[in-house]
Amino acid sequence: MRKTSVETYRQIMSEGLLSKMRFKVYETIFKYGPITARQCNEFISGGKHLGGSVTSRFSELEALGVIEPIRVIKCPTTARPVTLWDVTGKLPGEPKKRSKINYGDFFWIYPVINVDGTYSIRTQEPIANKNMWMKVREVIEKRINLK
């Protein structure tokens, strides 16, 4: 174990920089890592299946920068390819934000395919903003695979 990881672990623990479940997962990876998500789940739950309450924390901890994927191995239990995870030695940072269109904003938009094969857009409300129209077009093209 690297000295920086030990110091980081102690600081995260003493300052409470992670929520309870995130810290449980981080601590398990710190003590037993590098390990797979399945192995981490087994250590935390004592053999019971906790599912998403453990595995969901992996992507959150990765986004915070405190764990990282090391390599892909063959799972000892399922023989499928799985990722080995380990701590990074870094303190939690701001999660990386993904630029993403919220499809919920477009619930009132639907494409209509015309008889001649072209498509048009129907909305429940008029859209006055040109930038919004560009986003709408992009969403619709993705949904009906025009690109």
**Any domain includes 27:** yes
pLDDT one-digit tens code per residue, 96-130: 665 555 555 544 555 666 677 666 666 555 555 66
66 plus 115 within the same structural domain: no
More confident residue, 73 or 139: 73
Tens-place pLDDT, residues 7-26: 888 899 899 999 999 999 99
Is residue 78 located within the same domain as residue 109?
no
Indicate the pairing of strand 119-123 with strand 109-113.
antiparallel
> If phi over 0 gives left and psi between -120 and 50 gives alpha, with beta otherwise, what is residue 22?
alpha
124 in the same domain as 81: no
98 occurs within a structural domain: no
Domain membership flag for residue 109: yes
Rounded to the nearest angstrom, the gap between the alpha carbon of residue 104 and the centroid of all alpha carbons in its chain is 19
Give the domain CATH number at 30.
1.10.10.10
Predicted confidence (pLDDT) per residue in 34-88, tens digit: 999 989 988 888 877 666 778 889 989 998 999 999 999 988 888 888 999 999 9
Residue 75 is classified by DSSP as: -
Pair (80, 136) in one structural domain: no
Q: Which residue type sits at 122? A: R
- On whether the pTM is more than 0.85, the answer is no
Q: How far is CA 108 from the centre of its chain?
A: 27
Tell me the residue range of the domain where 129 lies: 103-143
Q: What pLDDT sits at residue 5?
A: 81
CA distance 121 to 115: 14
